Amino acid sequence: MDRRQFLDAALAAAAAGLVPAPARALAAQGWAATLPLLPAPKGTTGPVVLSAAPGNYDLGDGPRAGALLINQQWPSPTLRLDQGQLFEATLDNQLDEPTIIHWHGLTPPSAMDGHPVQVIDAGTSRSYQFTIDDPPGTYWYHPHPHHRTGYQVYFGMAGFLLVSDGLDADRGLPTGARDIPLLLADKRVVAGELVFAPTSGEMMAGFLGNEVLVNGTIAPVLAVEPAVLRLRLLNGSNARILNPAMADGRTFWLIGTDAGLLSAPVPVTSVLLSPGERVEVLVDLRADAGGSVDIVSPAFAIVASSPPSAPPQGTAFDLLRLQVSEPLGADPGTVPAAFEPILPPSVAAGPPRVFTFAQSGMQHTINGLVYELSRIDFTVRLGEPETWRFVNDGNQPHPMHMHGTRFRVLSRSGPALASDAGWKDTVLVRVGETVDIALRFDVPGLFLFHCHNLEHEDHGMMLNFVVEDRIFGDGFESPAGA
Ligand code: C2O
Ligand code: CU
Ligand code: CU
């Protein structure tokens, strides 16, 4: 069958009740489109040009203007990089406002990080050049201009950046068409049109949508083999926390978190995924030939104040349908027993550095501070282990993200999250929770610490810090009182 017949058959099967109807939360469109796999740009090991420009999107109701695209692709192109390679990219800003691209989860030199002080004006370009020395894993890139990150990400500037060491087949992991990056992001869709106009209440809560797009598509269908699949899930939402699960409640396996693989697959039935976080999971479809398996985000309990303009945090959504073919003869794979052990983090000698989140007026604060571009808020020492303690005294969950390093969760006062087991660069801190993390900074210079709820970030829930090299100096002024 061709693509159209395949879809018709799938839809007819669904209509005939052969496929259990998912608990569709809000979208009325049904499972309609084939999932566009994220295209890889040409020459991923050579220099890549990322051209940011206005463009169109199409959510099934015809093309609409207003997208902000990289290389005119919706969603943005996937960059596939090899560990150890020299990454060379040029950002060409054809938007009508400043922008800058940040490589979320990578640890390049400070000058290559895409900090908001590095924004480039409309009509200009800049180049990036650094060696990829991060663990193989699922990273991503997105704009980072202060006050405009939420807007630019919302309208389409966000893509995967996958780092490989070439050993995944040896690890027994699915590769090729069985290794599937899925960018999940909720949007407010009204008559086929993307709406983004946060009120002050929505700046406080974060801008929530009424549909969750998967790789830019509402409720897509993806044709797959009856095999073990590797799904790389990225929550690219501005503010919505998701809870990916299989609609039939079956077990799947968490194999990786923000910055690489776990020591071994961990069986789960759902994984809480806040904005900025990634997880890699294995899904076993070996017994599903000829059927379909839906991936959903079932309802979950979370304390958050959500304005009435969109379904609240914790609402159920459909994500995508996996339409499973008959066996194609290839080895369907298995769930590996183990990967390389991940070492425990080195533990700091001193007391934790405490960061308390709260509200003041109509802003979320970190230790009472609201972001200022030119103010350095604290310094840390290069290469020395630290413990950071996050205390959420506010009324919103905060996915806290750090540039320039990665970390491990040491403890959490609330219920444990499956992703706490692995290397992280973004960690959800729910209302009333205290979370301790272990970290160390190995790259000197200026970096950011912020909430990845993009409305919180744009409204100032962000701090600058400097990693100081005490032997060679760092070239930065010491902040007052530090
Ligand atoms: Cu994903 Cu500072 O960013
Ligand atoms: Cu980042
Ligand atoms: Cu926040």
Tell me the longest C-alpha to C-alpha distance in the chain: 71
The mean pLDDT value for 274-289 works out to 98
Torsions phi, psi of 13, nearest 5? Answer: -60, -40
Question: How far apart are the CA of 428 and the centre of ligand 3, in A?
Answer: 9
Exposed / middle / buried, residue 123 (Cβ in 10 Å: 0-12, 13-18, 19+): exposed
The model's confidence at residue 271, banded by pLDDT at 50, 70 and 90, is very high
Q: Residue 182 has what pLDDT?
A: 96
Is the confidence at residue 115, as pLDDT, over 80? Answer: yes
**Using one digit for the tens of pLDDT, what is the confidence trace for 440-468?**
999 999 999 999 999 999 999 999 999 99
> What helix, strand, coil percent values describe the chain, rounded to 5?
10, 40, 50
Please indicate whether residue 456, judged by its CB atom, sits closer than 6 Å to ligand 1: no
Q: Residue 34 has what pLDDT?
A: 76
Is the confidence at residue 40, as pLDDT, over 80? Answer: no
End-to-end CA distance of the chain: 67
Please indicate whether residue 321, judged by its CB atom, sits closer than 6 Å to ligand 1: no
Question: Is omega for the bond preceding 298 within 30 degrees of 0, making it cis?
Answer: no
**Using one digit for the tens of pLDDT, what is the confidence trace for 334-379?**
999 999 999 888 889 899 999 999 999 899 999 999 999 999 999 9
Question: Using the 8-state DSSP alphabet, how is residue 224 labeled?
Answer: E
Torsions phi, psi of 464, nearest 5? Answer: -95, 140
The mean pLDDT value for 462-479 works out to 69
316-352: buried (b, 16+ CB within 10 Å) or exposed (e) per residue? bbbbbbbbbeeeeeeebbebbeebeebeebeebeeeb
The model's confidence at residue 424, banded by pLDDT at 50, 70 and 90, is very high
Question: Is omega for the bond preceding 75 within 30 degrees of 0, making it cis?
Answer: yes
Please indicate whether residue 276, judged by its CB atom, sits closer than 6 Å to ligand 1: yes
Torsions phi, psi of 420, nearest 5? Answer: -60, -15
What are the E-state strand segments in 243-370? 245-246, 252-257, 260-268, 278-284, 292-297, 317-324, 353-360, 363-366
Q: What's the per-residue H, E or C state across 230-248?
A: EEEEEECCCCCCECCEECC
Torsions phi, psi of 180, nearest 5? Answer: -120, 110
Cα R_g (the chain), whole angstroms: 22
The mean pLDDT value for 269-286 works out to 98
In a 3-state reduction of DSSP, which class is residue 439? strand
Question: Using the 8-state DSSP alphabet, how is residue 415 labeled?
Answer: S
The mean pLDDT value for 161-173 works out to 96
Contacts of 197 (CB under 8 A, 6+ apart): none
Question: Using the 8-state DSSP alphabet, how is residue 422 labeled?
Answer: S
| Euclidean distance between CA atoms 117 and 383, whole angstroms | 24
In a 3-state reduction of DSSP, which class is residue 391? strand
**Using one digit for the tens of pLDDT, what is the confidence trace for 396-422?**
999 999 999 999 999 999 999 999 999
**Using one digit for the tens of pLDDT, what is the confidence trace for 78-94?**
999 999 999 999 999 99
Ligand nearest to the CA of 400: 3
Q: Which ranges constitute the DSSP H helices of 184-324?
A: 200-205
Exposed / middle / buried, residue 103 (Cβ in 10 Å: 0-12, 13-18, 19+): buried
Helix (H) and strand (E) counts for the chain? Answer: 4, 30
Output the residue whose Cα is nearest ligand 1's atom 3: 104
Q: Are 112 and 128 in contact (CB under 8 A)?
A: yes
| Euclidean distance between CA atoms 92 and 267, whole angstroms | 43
The model's confidence at residue 1, banded by pLDDT at 50, 70 and 90, is very low
The mean pLDDT value for 50-65 works out to 95
Q: Residue 470 has what pLDDT?
A: 67
The mean pLDDT value for 6-35 works out to 44
Question: Using the 8-state DSSP alphabet, how is residue 369 labeled?
Answer: B
Please indicate whether residue 401, judged by its CB atom, sits closer than 6 Å to ligand 1: yes
Torsions phi, psi of 3, nearest 5? Answer: -60, -45
Exposed / middle / buried, residue 151 (Cβ in 10 Å: 0-12, 13-18, 19+): buried
Task: Provide the pairing of β-strand 317-324 with 221-224.
Answer: parallel
**Using one digit for the tens of pLDDT, what is the confidence trace for 178-217?**
999 999 999 999 999 999 999 999 999 999 999 999 999 9
Output the residue whose Cα is nearest ligand 1's atom 1: 104
Please indicate whether residue 144, judged by its CB atom, sits closer than 6 Å to ligand 1: yes
Is the confidence at residue 19, as pLDDT, over 50? Answer: no
- In the chain, % of residues over pLDDT 70: 89
Q: Are 241 and 397 in contact (CB under 8 A)?
A: yes
Q: Are 113 and 103 in contact (CB under 8 A)?
A: yes
The mean pLDDT value for 30-54 works out to 78
| Euclidean distance between CA atoms 145 and 196, whole angstroms | 17
| Euclidean distance between CA atoms 213 and 236, whole angstroms | 10
Please indicate whether residue 403, judged by its CB atom, sits closer than 6 Å to ligand 1: yes
Dihedral sign for Cα atoms in the order 114, 115, 118, 121: positive
> What value does the mean pLDDT of the chain take?
90
The gap from C-alpha 202 to its chain's centroid, in whole angstroms, comes to 21
| Euclidean distance between CA atoms 120 and 98, whole angstroms | 5
Closest ligand 1 atom to 426 CA: 1
Q: Residue 60 has what pLDDT?
A: 86
Per the DSSP assignment, residues forming a β-bridge with 81 are: 163
Ligand nearest to the CA of 104: 2
| Euclidean distance between CA atoms 342 and 253, whole angstroms | 17
Q: Are 91 and 120 in contact (CB under 8 A)?
A: yes
Please indicate whether residue 104, judged by its CB atom, sits closer than 6 Å to ligand 1: yes
- Residue 132's alpha-carbon distances to 121, 242, 262, in angstroms, are 27, 29, 20
**Using one digit for the tens of pLDDT, what is the confidence trace for 125-141?**
999 999 999 999 999 99
